Structures are given as C-alpha cells and as structure tokens.
Chains A and B, each alone.
Chain A
Amino acid sequence: MNNPASSSDPVSLVSPSTAAKTVPEWRQYLRFLWNAFSQSVEGGWKFYVWMTLLTAVFLVGANAWAVQVRDGMALTSMSDHVSWGLYIANFTFLVGLAAGGVMMVIPAYLYHDEQMHDIVIIGELLAIAAIIMSIMFVVCDLGRPDRFWHMIPGLGKFNFPVSMLTWDVIVLNGYLVINLHICGYLLYKRFRGQAPSTKMYVPAVLLSIVWAISIHTVTAFLYCGLGGRPFWNTAMLAPRFLASAFVSGPAFIIVAIQIIRSQTGRMFGEGAIRTLVSIIRITILINLLMVVSEVFVEFYTGGSHTSAAKYLYFGLHGHNELVPWIWTALTFTLVAVVLFMQSNVNRRPVILNVACLLAFVGLWIEKGMGMIIPAFVPSTLHEIVEYRPSLTEWKVTAGIWALGFMIYTLLLKITINVHSRKLRDASGARTIRSEDSLAMSSEE
C-alpha cells in the first residue's frame, strides 16, 4: 500500500524529480508486484471463505507430505512393482492442462482474433498455476526432496541430454518463466497506464505456443521412450497427450470465464467461449479416435503385450482395481462429446459447464491413473501387484490442487484489479505531478 520506491527513499525528500527519474524499472516492477499481491488478498467474505478453505486443505496436504518425507514413501501405496502412482498421474495431467492454456493464445495471435487478446491472459495464468502444481507433484514424488539441488545444472549433476527427465525440467521451468514474463509484463504496463511494446511480449507469446507443444511432447517422451514398458512404448502417446491437453485446457478456461463473469458481474468472453467450444469439438474427437486406435491395436493383435490393456479395461486374473476408473472416464468423455456436439451448447451455460466438467474429469482419469498404472500392472516380469492410492497420497494431491486454486484465484484477482483500474500506479501520477510543480516553481 505504501510505496517503498518513492516515499521511503530519502533522495525523494530532497529532489523528487531526480528520484523519479532514477527509480529503476526493476524497482518499479517490484513495487507493482507488492501492490498487486497486497491488493489481491483483499476481498469480500466469499473470497475469504474460499481462501481459508483452500488454505486448510493445503495445510492438510503439506502436513501429509512432511510426514511422508520423514517416515518414507512407504506411506504411499506405491511399491517396487507399481513405482509411480497418483502423484505422477496428476503431474502428467497438469502438464497437459498447462499446455492447453495456450489454446486461447493460438487463435488470438496466430489468427489475429482481436476479441481474444484481452482474455488470453486467463489461459496463460492457468498455465502458470498448472506448471507450479505439476512441479510440486514431482517434488512430492521424490524420495529425497532434500537432494533437489543435485538436479540444478552447475551445482549438481544434470544428465542432459540423455535423460528425458532433464529435458522436462528445462521445458517446464522455461514455460513457467515465459508465461510469468508475458503476464507480468502486460499487467505491469497496464498498471503503469502505458501501452505495452509488442517487441517485449509478442515474440514471447509466439515462443510460448511452440513451447506449450514441447512441454507435453517431452512429457510423453518420458514414458514412450521406455522399451521395457510396452503399454507406454507407442508413438501415439505424444499426439494423444496433445489432443487431450487441448480438451482439458479449454474446458477449464470456459468454466473459469463463466465464474469470473458471475463474480464480477461483467459480461465478457462470449466470442472466446465460442472459439474454445469449436476447438474442443474437434480435439475431443481426435483424442477419442486415438484411444480407439490404441484399443484396436492392443486387442486385435493380442499376445502378452495386451495384458496391460486387458487389466485396464476388463481386469486380469481377477484383479480389476482400474476397471471402474477407466469406464467412468470413458462414460464421462462420451457424454461430454454428445453435449459438446449440441448446436446450441454455447447458449446453455449449465449444459456447457457440465460438458466441460465431464471432459475435464474424464481426461484426468484417462491420462492420469489410466495411463500411468497399467504400465506397471502386470510388472515387467508379469507379476500382478495392484495399486490403490493411500490416504497420504490423496491428502497430498488435494493439498496441491488447493494450492493451485489459490494461486490461480490470486492471479485472476490481480488481473481483474489491473483491468478494472482498481490497481494502478497512483504514485506514478504523483511523481509526474510533483515534477510539474517543481518545473513551475523553477520557472517562477
């Protein structure tokens, strides 16, 4: 609230004009961040209830994680047979969600859909929140998070370019930085009341499109490059990941736009929703087509390699832990397809939201548990050890999602505050005025 940049600076007491000129851009930016943050945590009772609830869930998750770090990963249901579980499932889905965030950027910038320009940031902010969440899921999956520094290039040992995981570290962090830059720059410029310079952000936007594709491709390569896991070892994985990402991302954004509308009472984004629905109509079918192709190859060919798919869809030798999951996912997806195909779905918000929610949850299962677990069941030596997430895993998962929602809420609030001019650079105006007055006094 108080701006440290100009008022606490002793120089400004002596000569405001020199102070204003010498306040470096980075300090202005830091002040913007501070103002943005402190104002974003202000709100009505609904906001406080929402944030308190999320904080509570997050703390439960944080505590579960802390206990897991202390007592060991034995608190999860993972085993030497199923060595990745709910955490990596969520990680995979969230990388997709982050990539899907750019589905608004593509029409806006590549096809010059001007209507989309202002609300593109909703998708970019989603990407930021989703990337932070996905990184947190990986950290929670580590047996030794205290050795995280071993992965920092220069400090530790970074097995680049051989390990696909190092590629993932690079592209995920890069994507985070790109999106932080774009959002931060655009909001900062608006905060200052200045027009953004296209040189400063359009190249980054174009880069973010390519980068979004890369994060999900690399994440698919993590899995499909492993010859010992036939269920993953398919060239279809990366395209399938992308297609489904471009369903879950837009589905989330459609719902987010409507929530923002109802909370702020401002109607916007009608055109954006139409565009996003048209995108989903295509991508959801492409994804479904790829699922069908995989299922066909698995079952028509037969043999031992079919075991994983058999286990996933029908159960294997009486083991059917995943069967309810995958059929829920398929049902949700099919219902969502039918709903999205309704010609008037754009004008019926309830149906639209239900369709988005079904598609979102369906993909969370299909691409999460449905994609990770069957690769481990049966194991590489065909032993069948099943996996059902433990309470610790559910707590940690809920905690990270809660944190993600908190981050997204605050980022949206900052954006809304900036766009409604509630949050703007008042001191900047003051500086200019004091400069004027000084100029006048010197003339006198």
Chain B
Amino acid sequence: MNHSETNKPITPCSGNCSCDGGSREKDPWTGNDGSNRRAVLKGLGATLGVAAYAKALAPLTELTQQTSMAEFLQKHYKELTTDEITVVLDRLTRETKEQYGADVTISDPKPIEGVKFGYGLNLSICNGCRKCAEACHLENNHDRPSNQSYIRVFEMTKGSMDFEKGNVHYEHPVPQPDKYYMPVQCQQCEHPPCVDVCPVEATWKEKDGIVVVDYNWCIGCRYCEAACPYHARRFNWQKPEIAAEEINPDQGYLSNRIRPQGVMEKCTFCLHRTRNGRLPACLEACPTGARVFGDLNDPDSEIRWVLENKRVFVLKEELGLKPQFFYFFDE
C-alpha cells in the first residue's frame, strides 16, 4: 500500500514503523492530521473493545476453580492404564473432599468375566410406593434440590399400556384399586441408540451389559438424551448439590461418584455394588419383592427362572433395541 514509495529510492525506513519517516508524502489513511485524530479514536475504541470483551468473558476464568488442568487433559477411560486410573481416582477423591467436604472411596470395579446382568420387574405386585426411586436418589449421590433419580414410577390406568394415560406426579395413598404401577429406568439395551449417537464415545456398553458414561469425557451435547426412547438419561444442568453427611462414600468411577456439571449420567445397575456381589439399591429397597436381578448367563439364576416361567415383555419392543430389563406378570 505504500504508493508513496513507488517513485522514490528505497530508504531504510519503509514506513512499517512508528517513526515519522522524514518529509515523505504520507499514507492517506494514517499520515495526515485528520487521520491522526481518527487513529487515536480508533485506538481508544479498540482498547475499550478489548476491555469490554475481557469483562464479558470474565466468568469463564472462574471456571478454572471447578476444573483442574489434570481433569482437562485426562484421557478417555478406556485408554487409561492401571497406574493412570489410580492417579485419577486419587485426584477425584481429593477433589470430592475439597469441593464437598466428604471422605469417600472411589473404586473402579471391572465386569465379572462371563456375567451378563438382567433385571426383572413384577407388575402384579409393584404397589407404586416409589421406595426404589428414593433408594436410587440416595445411593447414587443425586442432586438433592431437584430430587433426581434414575427411576420414574408411572401410575398406569388398568386396561391400557399407553404411557399417555399414565401419571408420574401422583400424591395419594398407593395402590389405588383401578391402577397399576410401572417403574421405568435404563433398560440397558442390547443395541443402545444412546451409544451409537455419542460423537465422542463417552458412553458404551460394558461386557456385563451395563451401559456406562465416562463423566470426565462427555462433552454434554445431549444427543444421547434425544436418542433414548425410555427417558433413561439425565443431564447435570448444574453442579450437583449434596451435603457432606448425605454423601454415599462407597463410589464407583463409572457409576455413583458425584458427577461434574454439564455431563450426562444414567442408571448403571449400581455396578459398584453388583460387580462386587451385591444387589442394586432399588431392589434392596423394594418392600414388595417385585424386583428380580441376576446373571442372564447363569441357568440357575432367579432372573432366568422368571424369563422361562413368567409372562414377560419388554418396553417398546417394536423399536428393536432388545432391552435387558424385563417386565412380567404373576399369572
């Protein structure tokens, strides 16, 4: 743009600096007096602009209090070596202490070789008391103010299996004579659409059939929540709130540890319990014995007996997702 130089010998000052450049003809944009004022105004505008940008985006800097550099750089769960997982678990334990004031133990139980979990629910005896939903809330360290739970219990109208005629917000004694009750949680599909749609492989199906989420890898796009036909997934719309004394200290990396803000979570069949030979919290809490849990690969298991002897169905079978959660009737 230095048209002024075209007919002149090249001098050491090419105009690409702040010096006056001698008595040469000035660039029409910056050289003359009017433009100087303009340049000052522009400089002022630019400075104010930068300040405004900095101010507007300042809340982002406060985010670093929640997210450590180690968390930011953490690899995908499946790529972590045993040593690296130990480091991660230590860090998460420390962070829980710092942020929530609770001493917890976070483990990483692996699937048991040869085991495939299945869940059955007896609709003939479920009475809609919602103890399962409450137990889930407590076991899985859910956000307290929103009363979150992975289980929704529907009060259904007899004579219809249509959820449109169901209601989750019932506030009367149960069971009502003309109603039956249908708890719904993750169906741990054989072909989970939530896993397919995830753009970053933050969710996958484990060998024992449980669909899990790496809370430290999920980017929070909520595509899985849109894909799930069973309303099984939950999003952490804000940092979970839970008092230190209410925190369940027995935690799993892929299950009930306190989730970070902005990521997905879901029912994991309480894998921190079930992979250690215990039963899911929702089953233990059920006062009617409507819930049956076990190894689908074990021919002597109760769940296998149910599948072979009861009238069993799965939700939305027509979608072809092959749920591993079975509803059944006594007669």
Residues of A within 8 A of B (CB): 1-4, 7-8, 12-13, 16, 35, 42, 55, 59-60, 62-63, 66-67, 69-74, 76, 78-81, 83-84, 138, 141-148, 150-151, 156-159, 162-166, 169, 222, 226-229, 304, 307, 375-376, 378-383, 426-427, 429-430, 433-434
Measured in the bound complex, the distance between the Cα atoms of B54 and A265 in whole Å is 38
Measured in the bound complex, the distance between the Cα atoms of B2 and A81 in whole Å is 61
Of B152, B199, B219, the residue contacting A143 (CB under 8 A) is: B219
B164 contacts A304, C-beta separation under 8 Å:
yes
Interface residues of A, dominant DSSP: helix
A382 contacts B63, C-beta separation under 8 Å:
no
B228 contacts A380, C-beta separation under 8 Å:
yes
Interface residues of B, dominant DSSP: loop
A73 contacts B238, C-beta separation under 8 Å:
yes
Q: Tell me if B40 counts as interface (CB < 8 A to partner A).
A: no
Query: How many whole Å from A103's CB to the nearest CB in chain B?
Result: 29
The residue in A13, A35, A159, A429 that gathers the most chain B C-beta atoms within 10 A of its C-beta is A159
A7 contacts B164, C-beta separation under 8 Å:
no
Residue of A whose beta carbon sits closest to that of B60:
A66
A13 contacts B223, C-beta separation under 8 Å:
no
Can you report 6 A-B residue pairs in the complex whose CB atoms are below 8 A from each other? A12-B10, A144-B260, A147-B218, A156-B76, A157-B201, A157-B202
Residues of B close to A427: CB separation below 8 A: 1-2
B164 contacts A66, C-beta separation under 8 Å:
no
Instruction: Tell me whether A2 and B1 are in contact in the complex, defined as CB-CB below 8 angstroms, given that A143-B219, A380-B229 are known contacts.
Output: yes
A80 contacts B225, C-beta separation under 8 Å:
yes
Stretch at the interface among B11-19, B130-138, B297-305, B322-330: B11-19
Residues of B close to A1: CB separation below 8 A: 1, 27, 29-30
Q: B165-185: which residues lie under 8 A (CB-CB) from chain A? A: 166, 168, 184
Measured in the bound complex, the distance between the Cα atoms of B235 and A141 in whole Å is 12
The residue in B217, B228, B261 that gathers the most chain A C-beta atoms within 10 A of its C-beta is B261
Binary contact readout B226-257 vs A (1 if CB under 8 angstroms, 0 otherwise): 11111101111111000000000000000000
Q: B75-94: which residues lie under 8 A (CB-CB) from chain A? A: 76
A382 contacts B162, C-beta separation under 8 Å:
yes
Of A12, A159, A226, the residue contacting B226 (CB under 8 A) is: A226
A72 contacts B238, C-beta separation under 8 Å:
yes
A74 contacts B226, C-beta separation under 8 Å:
no
Residues of B close to A138: CB separation below 8 A: 221
Instruction: Tell me whether A2 and B199 are in contact in the complex, defined as CB-CB below 8 angstroms, given that A59-B52, A73-B220, A383-B168 are known contacts.
Output: no
Measured in the bound complex, the distance between the Cα atoms of B197 and A13 in whole Å is 59
Of B6, B164, B237, the residue contacting A430 (CB under 8 A) is: B6
Of A66, A143, A159, A226, the residue contacting B198 (CB under 8 A) is: A159
